[in-house]
Amino acid sequence: MSLGPVMIDLEGTGLTAEDRVLLCHPQVGGVILFSRNYESVEQLRQLIGEIHALRSPRLLVAVDHEGGRVQRFRTGFSRLPAVGRLGEIYDLDPRRALRLAELAGWLMAAELRSVGVDFSFAPVLDLGRGISTIIGDRAFHATPQGVARLAQAYVHGMQRAGMAATGKHFPGHGSVAADSHVALPVDDRPLEEITAEDIYPFRALIGQGLMGIMPAHVVYSQVDPLPAGVSRFWLGEVLRTQLGFGGVIFSDDLSMEGAVGIGSYGERAHAALAAGCDMVLVCNCRTGALETLRALERYDNPLTHLRLVRMHGREGVSPTALRHDPAWRTAVVELTHAFEDPGLALDL
């Protein structure tokens, strides 16, 4: 059975009978986990093991685990700094900031791989211009060059730990104040400005082997009246053709307010896939997930299958073995010292 184009979520810390049926649906290809799915490291390893055992090739297991405000698993995991703090160090000591960015990317990815998570939706490649509160310190830096350099180091750390990276939110969410979880943001800047500034980090990381990209639920009104995530121009013409991106395009959550205007869940999913997405996310709405699966019953894209299997993580060590690895201790010690935050450390 190949991987389907839909990623869904789970209600609790274990699989229900309904979960098992849905996860075996041929149009499901992945699971995204949230804080409600986590109790302990061992419980999480068992849950992911059960998910992986359901199918071959195994379902993708993903999470939003950036650090700072956006870190789904906390107790039992190192508390990661918001990447915006790396940008603050970068302004004072670029070489040190790049070293810390690589360590942070490695630590995040190594700990997630140790419990079986295939990938985190990271890094954020938006520009931290102080306009978007939902982005805020999730952005590495205010400048395109700063974001690109820090993100490249971060992705290199992820890759060393056996995890593929997913950059978001293409072509850039940093210049709109509205939060696409609760509204549809509109960016009225010209294409030339967006291309020169916001797209710069995406272009740089695509050249470094970026495996996944997530578009923004944002309308760029001078370019296309449709949000980027359902825009053939942004995904087909710019991302695939001009930038030459050959990896996976993940929609942002179709339950977010930024996607509601497109239509029903089925219409949102079809629009995203027709525009160029490989996988659509439907989170926190089981009825929406069911509607999406019904709507995509006949959907098939062989190229998508080939792209998705490349998102599987490389084999990781156990959590216990990881904490005996000198590289883990080095990463925790250096990050703890850099941010003067003892909460980063675990079991030292």
Each residue of 76-89: pLDDT tens digit? 999 999 999 999 99
Q: Please check the confidence at residue 344 and state whether its pLDDT lies above 70.
A: no
171 burial type by CB count under 10 A (0-12 exposed, 13-18 middle, 19+ buried) = buried
Q: Is the pTM of this model over 0.85?
A: yes
Q: Is 199 left (phi over 0), alpha (psi -120 to 50) or beta?
A: alpha
* Domains, the chain, ordered by start: 6-344 (3.20.20.300)
Q: Report the catalytic residues.
A: 181, 252
Nearest to 109 by CA among 57, 166, 188: 166
Give residue-wise pLDDT tens across range 119-149.
Answer: 999 999 999 999 988 999 999 999 999 999 9
Give residue-wise pLDDT tens across range 96-114.
Answer: 999 999 999 999 999 999 9
Task: Give me 132's structure tokens.
Answer: 């978007």
Q: Which range (38-42, 71-75, 130-134, 247-251) has the least confidence?
A: 130-134
Task: Please give the pLDDT value at position 347.
Answer: 45
Instruction: Quote the mean pLDDT of the chain.
Output: 94
